[in-house]
Structure 1
Amino acid sequence: MARSRPSAPGGAPAAGRDRRWLALVIHLTFFLLLGAALVRYVQRHGAALPVLALAGALALLYGFGPALGRLPATGPPAAVGAPPDAVRRPSARHLLWLGVLVVVWAALVALAPSFSWCAVPLFYTALRTLPPPAAYGLVAFFTGFVVLAQLRLAARFDLDLVVGPPAVAALALAVFTSMDRQSARQAVLIHDLARTHRELAATERRAGTLAERQRLAVEIHDSLAQGLSSQQMLLQAADRLWDADPRQARAHVRAATSIAERSLAEARRFVHDLAPADLAEGGGLEAALQRLASRESTAERSVHCRVDDAVGAPALPGHVQSALLRIAQGALANVREHSGASRAALTLSHLGDQVRLDIADNGRGFDTAASHGPWQHARGHGLPAIRARVRQVGGALTVESAPGDGTVVSVSVPLHPASAKADTP
């Protein structure tokens, strides 16, 4: 009977097939030896009823063994070098079955010593059923009984009969112990591999959760937060101008209302599928950039958008269009809030196997070598958010600026990911 082993994905099916195959070979060997011994006895001594009855009982008992089921699982060994199943605990029915089997075999061998060869398959039955000390003791009993039976059967003393059975028993013990220890080591490795797989999956889930949080933070910053910031600025300007210039103040209020409508659409789209609302209105990225430039143009600042419609240029994937639009939104938000520019320009162009987006302004600029600047302000995402989006689509980012000379942000995204480049400082 085969013992149960700890299972793990990938290793359990193969180990189960090996156990079944080995058990089948041992069972066939037992019945083949039992049948050969019975035929030999009948040919030499005739059909003696006690021998026939004991042989039939032994065959029935041995065949009944698999019906008892596997031994209770004891779990994997504590370490690779630990003895296999050192705490094997057979049930009472297994012990009763094995005891009756040994008694019937001993009685049969006492009557007909030629049946002693059936002890070899019984070695493995004992080793697979009992704890190691008890199993080794039962194997020693089998071996001694076989030696006595063979000596009684022989006409004279033969040294081979004394040496042969112990040598066979030692070989069987060595083979079984080696296989069992190897199986135990494999069980430990499979157990460790399954645990490592679970830990890796948990780590990947945590990393995915953190990445999703970062993505959501950038999405909120590039949509809702920017809209709310624009509304705040316009309403503050309207409040200052309400008495001095009511007409201009109402214009600011109307602009804030328009931005609020856009923010509401963004919020609904954000909840639905996190796609930019401008892209959902149709026309692709080019039309979305035109609408963005139109909204960002005010009396204080004009935003011009130019799209280089290259003939035969392939359509951009949806995630690339979304990323480029968010980058343009984030860049123009920084222009509006920090640059003090009176003009800004968006340029979308197709250059061979790349698409390029440039955002330029004539604002105050900043020192790109500084750790903080108008594009890297502490209270928002700024340039880090743009850089993160560029990395997500495998593109390259270039920022050119100097104090008093404005700023140019260039993003190039390869149409084929294999040609992606690193960020350029």
Structure 2
Amino acid sequence: MPGPAWFGPARFGAVVVVWMVLVVLAPSFSWCAVPLFYTGLRTLPTRAALALVTVLTAFVVAAQLRLAGTFDPNLLLAPPAVAAIATTVFLRTERQAARQRALIDDLIRTRRELAASERRTGTLAERQRLSMEIHDTLAQGLSSQRMLLQAADRVWESDPDKARAHVRSAASVAEHHLAEARRFVHDLAPADLARGGGLDVALRALAERESGDHLTVRVHVDAGGRPPRLPDRVQSALLRIAQGALANVREHADASTAALTLTLLDDQVVLDVTDDGHGFDPAAPPASPAGERGHGLPAMRARLGQLGGTLTVESARGEGTVLSAAVPLETTR
């Protein structure tokens, strides 16, 4: 490690020369070599510092022998031993300090990389959340409006009253999903949950809104006498899953009835969505042009995965579909 900026090799060399002169004049100054050892090791490159330590040690030995007046083996061996021990301790300490600095630099770099990775992961998670929210709110609302307006257009001439009813229904759907969009922007709960009453009330409101001329949606709540009060994030996830499942039923299943069943067990809460439509093969790739099956089911699984839950889909062609979303209760407490 370099010494202070004001104490460079030139000034240190001058100090060494002064010390040598003092040792020649007064041998007792020889033990001042110890601080010069450390200063040299800190100021000079390693090889130059070792050479300086050797020269200083030789001066100390000569000065001590001169001061003693007679030959003493201890004076010949002690100064080199002290110099060797001091140099070894210093160099070892410097190597350890260098390793620690390298380790600290590596830790700082790793923390920066980890922070960058967490930011990327957070960005991807937020994108996934946004895609699920858009799919479960705006996309489904626009799809419902399109179907209602298409139905109104088909009977516009033959049955104006029914056409106007379809248009009013489309306007109601638009109003509801406009509220959803506003709450989505502010990251609030789904509109049905924001009105209060809990998940069971929100499911009934959803069923009433989805029921129409060609589809009847029923709701059954089995809570064992307990009020199905769940954390907001669980209620929101299950309601979004119910919305997505009913959107698939309405657009792809050609079903006449569907049922939402909310069951509160001792260890989990389960939402079942069943329909009597033509069914599909869950293992097959999405068949619809819009790819709703391909996007909706992965989005549901992602929502449940965040809560430690699971999604099960049982279906076969011509036999309807049963979708079951289960969330462990211990993750909701």
CA offset at residue 378 of structure 1? 6.1
CA offset at residue 97 of structure 1? 4.6
Q: 1:297 aligns with which of 211, 215, 219?
A: 211
* Cα contact 1:324–1:357 (8 A) shared by 2: yes
Q: 2:179 aligns with which of 265, 273, 285?
A: 265
Q: Deviations over 1:96-149 (max 9, x none)?
A: 553443344334333332232221232112111222233223212311211121
Match of 2:248 in 1: 334
Counterpart amino acid of 2:236? Answer: S
2-structure distance, mates of 1:198, 1:146: 51
Match of 2:281 in 1: 367
Cα pair distance change 1:172/1:405, threshold 3 Å:
same
1:116 corresponds to 2:30: yes
| Sequence identity (%) | 64
Match of 1:243 in 2: 157
1:98 corresponds to 2:12: yes
Which runs of 5 or more residues in structure 1 are unaligned?
5-69, 72-90, 420-425
CA offset at residue 182 of structure 1? 2.2
With structure 1 as the length reference, what TM-score do the two structures score? 0.73
Match of 1:217 in 2: 131
* Cα contact 2:190–2:236 (8 A) shared by 1: yes
* Cα contact 1:127–1:135 (8 A) shared by 2: yes
CA offset at residue 366 of structure 1? 1.4
1:377 corresponds to 2:291: yes
* Cα contact 1:307–1:349 (8 A) shared by 2: yes
Cα pair distance change 1:377/1:189, threshold 3 Å:
same
Q: Deviations over 1:6-64 (max 9, x none)?
A: xxxxxxxxxxxxxxxxxxxxxxxxxxxxxxxxxxxxxxxxxxxxxxxxxxxxxxxxxxx
Cα pair distance change 1:414/1:313, threshold 3 Å:
farther
CA offset at residue 411 of structure 1? 1.1
CA offset at residue 235 of structure 1? 0.8
SS of equivalent residue, structure 2 residue 314: strand
2-structure distance, mates of 1:279, 1:249: 31
Match of 2:237 in 1: 323
Match of 1:405 in 2: 319
CA offset at residue 396 of structure 1? 1.9
CA offset at residue 187 of structure 1? 2.0
Counterpart amino acid of 1:349? Answer: T
Q: 1:169 aligns with which of 83, 86, 107?
A: 83
With structure 2 as the length reference, what TM-score do the two structures score? 0.92
Match of 1:20 in 2: none
Cα pair distance change 1:314/1:134, threshold 3 Å:
farther
Counterpart amino acid of 1:255? Answer: S
* Cα contact 1:367–1:373 (8 A) shared by 2: no
SS of equivalent residue, structure 2 residue 295: coil
1:395 corresponds to 2:295: no
1-structure distance, mates of 2:225, 2:12: 86
